[in-house]
Structure 1
Amino acid sequence: MPSEERIKSFYLDLGQRVRAGRARTKMSQADLATRLGLTRASIANLEAGRQHPAAHQAAMIAEVLEIPIQDLLAAAPHAVDPTETQHAALRKWARSQAKTDTEETS
């Protein structure tokens, strides 16, 4: 499970990419909001990392800003530290082995 800090970082990075895409296309927050059927405040919150778009909204944002979805969501690998997942799996396996050893000696 990604930490809260990694999730926060993911959405901050996503917001920065939206802002950069908007600047590149010379689109205001209000323009983008209108194209997406959202409010200007929603775009401001998204860019600040406070609003988390649904998957379909992220796809729409990528399309409107002419950004490949994989570039818009490029921060995703940073949201989960694979070593954390590997360590969690290893700890789970070690606990299961210790439990098995305990049951065998009982």
Structure 2
Amino acid sequence: DNDVLVEVHAAGVNLLDSKLRDGEFKLIVPYRPPFILGHDVAGIVVRAGSKVRKFKAGDEVYARPRDGRIGTFAEFIAVEEADAALKPKNLSMEEAASIPLVGL
């Protein structure tokens, strides 16, 4: 109900993704293979949950899905409304996808 479904147009690759891939955090993170990597995304909202108020289908967004909900290397990802923001118009999808986790 609180999620937006985002069609992925760009995904950032960061150090955390490569460390998860290599198993370096397996003692402290709950992910068990197989899983889809990716912590940063920019794309277009294709659907919004019934309780979502900030976004609608067609909105360009960028996001950092919360822990336990990674997977921005997929074609689509559902993220909580609170974890996304409208993409600044002056940024490309690729530029926007490079910001979320690094910005935090």
Between Structure 1 and Structure 2, which shows a larger proportion of strand residues? 2
Greater relative contact order (Cα 8 A, min sep 6): structure 1 or 2?
A: 2
Between Structure 1 and Structure 2, which shows a larger proportion of helix residues? 1
Larger Rg: 1
TM-score by length of 2: 0.27
TM-score by length of 1: 0.26
